[in-house]
Structure 1
Amino acid sequence: MSLEVPAVAPAPVSRRGRGTTLILVSSACFGSSGTIAKPTMLAGLSPQQVAAARIALAAVVLLLGIGILRPRLLRVRPAEWPLLLGYGLLGVAGVQLCYFVSVNRLPVGIAILLEFTSPVLIALWARFVRRVRLPRTMWLGITLAMLGLALVAQVWEGLSLDSVGFVAGLGGAVCSAAYFLIGEHGATTREPLGMVTWGMVVGAVAVCAISPPWTIPVALLDAPAAFGPWHPPVWVLVVAVALLSTALAYALGTTALRHLPAAVASVIGLLEPIVATATAWALLGEALSWVQLAGALVLLSGATVVQRVHSRQAGQAQPGVGQESPASAP
């Protein structure tokens, strides 16, 4: 699941180049999470165990790093705890659990595409809950995204995808939408990196309560996992998904948004499903059909339209105010 932080004022070209590089690396790190994690599940870990280990390790790294480098970001007023709890439970724990359950049952590329329908859910929330009138362009984006989803799921074959994996993927999209909406509200009063850190801590506590990491058999952690031509121990991949695809990805993404407008970063963030699909094909042998690949392009095109229109509307509504824009965080 990409990253959501406030946009800043337009940056000089040199700073934009730096921000673009950072967000590209961050998106690649986020996109690799499913491909890195799936071999650990095939080796015997449950999705809950992988999610617990990933979030717990990332929470420890972020908490220590922020505590040492920028401790003021960890200060929390009592009134902020409800928001941080919702952010951690839905935006961190919910997203990771649903995504890994989906990855365990579906190709990685399809699992992440299901999660990337979250911009459509946010637009529908704005229309039917907030009663915001949506422009025709956004409805076009929603239609494209739904058409792409139908192609990916191959609904004419009676939904050939695993039903539990499909529902979990859509659950990840719901939690991802909550992540963006709660984060949008919280970023008006808190530094994004501090909110991400506490959200990771809350998510770690919640997921570890469901599946304590210490219940994982040590022998299983030392077992080899099939990762392309390599067979590293399971624990190596668990650490990689926690540090590379979570802690580092969040840190780079947050830094990137200091140099790059969020509207630009949100589009670059669409690199994530491309990375996920490509790495799963290269390392796990998971290939999508031509129809599903076409559906992926249509879905991502629709999501891009929705994101861009949303960012433009937000900027017009609040000129000069930092605005959040989604870049997922699986």
Structure 2
Amino acid sequence: MKISSTSGGLAVAVLGSVTFGTSGAFIKPLLESGWSPTAAVTARVVVGGLVLLPVALVSLRGRWSALWRARWRVLVMAIVGVAVTQLFYFAAIQTIPVATALLIELLAPLLLVGVVWATTRRIPRALVLVGSAFAVGGLLLVIGPGAIRAVDPAGLTFAFLAMVGCAIYFVVAARPSDGLPPVAFAASGLVLGGLILGLLGVSGLLPLTVTLGDLPLAGFELPWWVPLVIVAVVSTAIAYVAGITAAEALGSRLASFVSLLEVVFAALFAWLLLGEQLMPLQLLGGALILGGIAAVRAAGSADEFPVIAAETLALPAHDLPAHDLPALGLPALGLPALDLPALGREVLEPR
């Protein structure tokens, strides 16, 4: 599915935020019942990828070369967008409050704006700066002002690395598909990312524990696999396809700002399914985030964070010799480096 209009892209982006926002309400009962974060994330990613796999295989009939051309993009998505970002986030919440880690990770859109500002030496449009301020204010209200506090430096470092991974996810997702269907991109990234997480768990580098049995959800006692299937299908399979499709249609900057609605929907679903309190300030925060998105959309895309250039992820036409990702702390993985300053010097054509 390819979306050509901005309104269509926004609709799909909101769908992605809604579906991503359901994950916390369905994952939390698993974690509280004894599942380790690694086990829960690995199961959701693998099952989500397997759900998409049949559709992906059908979409790739006669277009297998597109998957090969996009192999580096898929690999970066699997390692950074799926596995590493979530691992950094869970590493962060071991020593700092969840709200603090979530707030830092969701500042990824501001990182994109800042990188373009620093590398192109062009001040972003006023509407972009206003939208950024609205978005940060809205995040603080939704997550809670208490998220800003003195915390462990190691936890802060992991949270910032999660933010970088989240930003790279949007940049990679926004790159022109070159014939690779979003469902195939999402499925391949999820399956590969799940395998990486699984190997880390089986090897003992990360705790991998599960607890089988009934657990409470929305006032009912349900088998453990019910929330897992829901989070795998809705919060993972559908969410990643929608997010990738929206990023391709809207560009990385606007898509990343729309994704901030995820925290609003997460609070809403936690209220509906887990009985967590929904405060008026959270609703006000949601309104501020919407205002920020509207401002960024009105600013247009002339100073958009660029898609990854062909010469960055592909040579010639689409192939690139493998080298390291030192900036991400992933040496010797055979991945192409993401040269953010070089990306910032390229200007995306207005959509």
Secondary structure, in 3 states, of the residue corresponding to 1:243? Answer: helix
TM-score, normalised by the number of residues in structure 1: 0.71
Cα deviations across residues 122-169 of structure 1 (Å, max 9, x unaligned)? 1111111344441122122223334445554526x9628898887665
Distance change in 2, residues 1:160/1:289 (3 Å): farther
RMSD: 4.3
TM-score, normalised by the number of residues in structure 2: 0.68
**Which residue number corresponds to residue 187 of structure 2?**
197
**Which residue number corresponds to residue 235 of structure 2?**
245
The partner residue of 1:309 within 278, 287, 299 is 299
Distance change in 2, residues 1:34/1:10 (3 Å): closer
Structure with more helix by fraction: 1
Distance change in 2, residues 1:94/1:245 (3 Å): same
Cα deviations across residues 245-284 of structure 1 (Å, max 9, x unaligned)? 11133446667899x8779987775553332111112222
The partner residue of 2:38 within 35, 48, 73 is 48
**Which residue number corresponds to residue 8 of structure 1?**
4
Equivalences for 1:1-330 in 2 at 5 Å? 7-9=3-5, 25-75=15-65, 80-98=70-88, 114-150=104-140, 152-154=143-145, 159=149, 170-185=160-175, 187=177, 190-212=180-202, 220-221=211-212, 223-251=213-241, 271-287=261-277, 290-291=280-281, 294-299=284-289, 301-306=291-296, 308-309=298-299, 311=301, 313-314=303-304, 318-319=349-350
1:205: Cα distance to partner? 2.1
1:51·1:100 contact (CA, 8 Å) conserved in 2?
A: no
Distance change in 2, residues 1:282/1:294 (3 Å): same
1:65: Cα distance to partner? 2.2
1:49·1:213 contact (CA, 8 Å) conserved in 2?
A: no
1:185: Cα distance to partner? 3.0
2: CA distance between counterparts of 1:292 and 1:161? 23
Distance change in 2, residues 1:294/1:77 (3 Å): closer
1:113·1:296 contact (CA, 8 Å) conserved in 2?
A: no
Paired residue type of 1:302: G
2: CA distance between counterparts of 1:35 and 1:164? 27
Distance change in 2, residues 1:82/1:124 (3 Å): same
Cα deviations across residues 19-61 of structure 1 (Å, max 9, x unaligned)? 8876655442221111111110011111111111111111222
Secondary structure, in 3 states, of the residue corresponding to 2:34? Answer: coil
1:292: Cα distance to partner? 5.4
Distance change in 2, residues 1:91/1:285 (3 Å): same
Where structure 2 has 5 or more consecutive residues not aligned to the other structure, the ranges are: 307-346
Cα deviations across residues 88-143 of structure 1 (Å, max 9, x unaligned)? 111122344455667898678x8766544222111111111344441122122223
2: CA distance between counterparts of 1:261 and 1:139? 18
1:266·1:307 contact (CA, 8 Å) conserved in 2?
A: no
Cα deviations across residues 168-199 of structure 1 (Å, max 9, x unaligned)? 65544322211111222353574433322222
Cα deviations across residues 298-330 of structure 1 (Å, max 9, x unaligned)? 3553355335535465599525xxx5xxxxxxx
1:70: Cα distance to partner? 3.1
Q: Which has the larger displacement, 249-258 or 131-140?
A: 249-258
Distance change in 2, residues 1:25/1:190 (3 Å): closer
1: CA distance between counterparts of 2:88 and 2:10? 29
Q: Which has the larger displacement, 271-280 or 138-147?
A: 138-147
Secondary structure, in 3 states, of the residue corresponding to 1:225? Answer: strand
1: CA distance between counterparts of 2:177 and 2:189? 13
**Which residue number corresponds to residue 315 of structure 2?**
none
1:226: Cα distance to partner? 2.1
1:239: Cα distance to partner? 1.8
1:120·1:145 contact (CA, 8 Å) conserved in 2?
A: no
Secondary structure, in 3 states, of the residue corresponding to 1:232? Answer: strand
Query: How many pairs were matched up?
Result: 305
Paired residue type of 2:145: Q
